[in-house]
Structure formats: C-alpha cells, structure tokens
Amino acid sequence: MVASVPARTSTLGLALVALAVVAGPAHAEAPWIAPTVITVPTAWTQPGTAVYASLGGDHRFGTSARATVGYARLVEVDVGGDGLLTSCAPCDGPAREVEPAQLATAGWKLAVRPTARLALAGGLRVPLPGGDGRRAAQGFAIGSLRLGPVALHAGASTWASRHRGDDGAEIALAPTTSVRPLVGLEWTPRIYPRTTLGADLQWLPELGPTAATTAARWSFAWGVRYRALPYSAIELAVRHREGDALGDATVMVRLSAVLSARPR
C-alpha cells in the first residue's frame, strides 16, 4: 500500500515529520482541541475563544481546508471544503473507480459539558452555494468521554444528498435512510503527551451514477496527530472505504493551527 503513494506525497509526509521532530518541545497540556478524531466530529469544543484552521491533502489529489471558530466552550462554527464524500462509476466489481466529491460546507456544533470528562454535542453541516451541482448535508449527535489517556466518542449521524445521475435525472439520498453510528477512539500515551493515536468509523454517502448505486457506505480511518508546537499539529492518516481493496486505501496528510486562542 505504501508503494502506491506517489513520490511527492511521500516526500511531503517525511518533510512534515522531520519538521515536527526538530521543532522543539511543546507544552504538555494543549491549549486547543481538535474538532475531529480523524474524520468523525467530537463533542469537545475549544477551551476558550479560538480560531482553529486546517489544511490537508491525500494521494488521490483530494484536498481539504477548514476554519473553525470556537467560543466559550459552547459553540463552534466552521466553513471549508473537503473530499470526504466520494463518487463512483462503476461502483462495484473489479472495475470499481472512486474519486473524491469536493464539496464546500458550513456548519455549527453546540455542546454542553455536564462534567470535566464528559461532553455532549449536536451539530449540522450544510452545503454552500455553487459547485458542480452535488450537494450534501449532515446532522449529528455525539458524546465524548475522557478516561485518563483515552477518549471515547460515540453517537449517530444522518446525511441528505442530491446529485445528477448519468441520465441527467436528480438522485436524492433521504436523511431517514442514512442514519448510522459514529464511533471514535483517541489515545495519548502519558510518556508521549504530544502524540495522539486515533481511529474512527462512520458511514458516508457514495454518489453513484444511478439511485441503486447511491448509498451510505462505511469509512474507517486511523492515524496519528503530532503536536509539533503549542499551537500547531501534523496529522498522518489512512482511510479505508467499504467496497475498496486494501491497497486502495487513501493516505492523508493534514496541518492544523490555532490562529488565536484566549483561554477563559
């Protein structure tokens, strides 16, 4: 699988890791919290007013960029675009071909924290105007629980999507047919407080050329986040999708930083 990654992506990943190693020590306690495990949203919000920005790409030439504004531990608002959803043609068999469906969205997340270790949140993400006619919206509810160095995340999400099929007819995925669980796990070893290992599972719409081939399919991602500096991190991750061979996994690199933070 590693051999299938183009040389420039591999070189970029090695350069980012080298940068993280030589960047110097970071604070043991992060002044910010990542809004997602790898791809699944968490119930955590920023510990103070902060602007969290991320920029990423993968070896299939998918890109992502998102800015998230957190306020007073209660709410986060975000805007950006990514290739988390996919389109396929054909969608099954040895000739299966999948490509990222780049979509721009805006969203919000409202959270409550009954205790210091537990957070509960609900959110909605909607498509922005423009694009190529493919549109998708997500609603979710999730809880996050911290147990020492481990954080557990569990909830459910639903998607609604619209796109044009091969015959030009509009294909819609109803939210009532795509309710699926969200699951995530994070582990930050005590002896490596700047490093977090994560894995998550969710179901995402795959936009096919016909209504029969358009459905929610599972997506499993795992990777590592390294906090190179007090206000920045590097993430390397691999994503597997339902229907793909093991060698067809997507390798992702993401940089993130807090542009401003004022703990409250």
Q: Identify the CATH number of the domain in which residue 146 sits.
A: 2.40.160.40
- The first and second tokens of residue 217, run together, are 């399919």
Q: Which domain holds residue 11?
A: 2-263
Q: What is the CA radius of gyration of the chain?
A: 18
- Per-residue pLDDT, 209: 87
182/140 Cα distance (integer angstroms) = 9
pLDDT at 31: 61
Question: Which residue type is seen at 90?
Answer: P
Dihedral sign (CA 100, 101, 106, 111): negative
CA angle 149, 234, 109 (to 5 degrees): 70
Number of domains observed in the structure of the chain: 1
Residue 26, pLDDT above cutoff 70: no
- pTM assigned to the model: 0.82
Cβ atoms of residues 198 and 223 within 8 Å? yes
Confidence of residue 238 (pLDDT cuts 50, 70, 90): very high
Model pLDDT, residue 116? 86
Distance, CA of 137 to chain centre? 15
Mean pLDDT in residue range 123-133? 85
In this prediction, residues 38-60 reach a mean pLDDT of 88
Q: Are 55 and 12 in contact (CB under 8 A)?
A: no
